[in-house]
Amino acid sequence: MLSRVQGIVLKTYAQGEDDLILELMTKQAGLLRVLSPRAKKQTTSYSAVTQVLVVGDYILQQGITVNVMRQASMIDSYGDLRVDVMTLAYAQAMLELCLRVQHNARGTMDSMIIGYSLYDHLIASLARLRMQRSPSMALVHLQVLALVPLGIIPSYSICASCQQELQFDANHYSFIYGGFLCASCAAKGADKKAVVFHYKARSIMQKLSQIPVSLVGDVRVKADVEKEIRTFLTLYFREYAGISLRSLEVIEQLE
C-alpha cells in the first residue's frame, strides 16, 4: 500500500553500502522510519531529498517496521540556515529535540498526534531562525511546548507543596515535589535543595506554553533571565524525561 506524506528528515543512518534509513517526522503520521534505496549515491534522485533538515513530499510503500521510499520531491532544503554555523546548530538542536520526544512517545496511542503537533511547531521554529529572530529563545519556546506531549508540564500557577496559588514572584523549583514552591513553603524549607530562579523565568515559560510558535514574533528577554530558563529546561528534561541534547553542548561551545 502506498501513502503520501509531507515530512522533514531529522536523522539518517547508513544501511549497507548504498541505502539510507531516514527518521522522517511527518505531518500526517508522526515519526516514520523510511528506507531510501541507493540514496548514498550522488547520481540518484534521492540523494538531495534524504539530507537532514530537508522538507519534502514523500510517497512511501508501507511496511511493518520500515517504510520504503518510492518517490520524493523537495519542498525546502533550508539552505540559508546551513550557511551560518550558529544558526545551523540551533536548527540541529530543534531536530534532535523533536526526535527524542517522539522516540519517548513511540508505541503509544498518542504518538501520531504528538508528531502532528510537533511538526507544525518545528516548521514555525525554523521559520523564526530564518528571520534571524532570537534563535536561542526560538529553541526555548519549542522546548517549552515539547513538554506537553511528554506529559511533564510543570504547574506554573499552583504551589507543588501546599497547592495554593503562586504569587507573581515565586521563584523556587523543587525536584522533590515536582513543581514550583510558594514563598511561604520555600521559607519554611519544604525543600532545602530547591533551585532558585528569577521569577520572570517562570512567568515567561508560562506564557510561552500557552502560545503556538507560529503566533509569536521576536522574543527577547534579559540575558541573565534567558540563561536561567535554558538551565532550568536542561535540568527538567534530564530529570523527568531522561533527555539530554548533545546539540546544546555544541551551542555552548560556539557561544
User: What CATH number does domain 2-77 carry, 3.30.70.330, 3.10.20.30, 2.40.50.140, 3.40.1530.20?
Assistant: 2.40.50.140
pTM confidence score: 0.91
Q: Which tens digit of pLDDT belongs to each residue from 13-48? A: 888 787 889 999 998 888 899 998 877 666 566 778
Cell of 221: 528577554
Pairing, β 55-61 against β 67-76: antiparallel
Give the model's pLDDT for residue 74: 94
Q: Which tens digit of pLDDT belongs to each residue from 54-88? A: 999 999 998 888 999 999 999 999 999 999 999 99
Domain residue extents for the chain? 2-77, 80-153+198-254
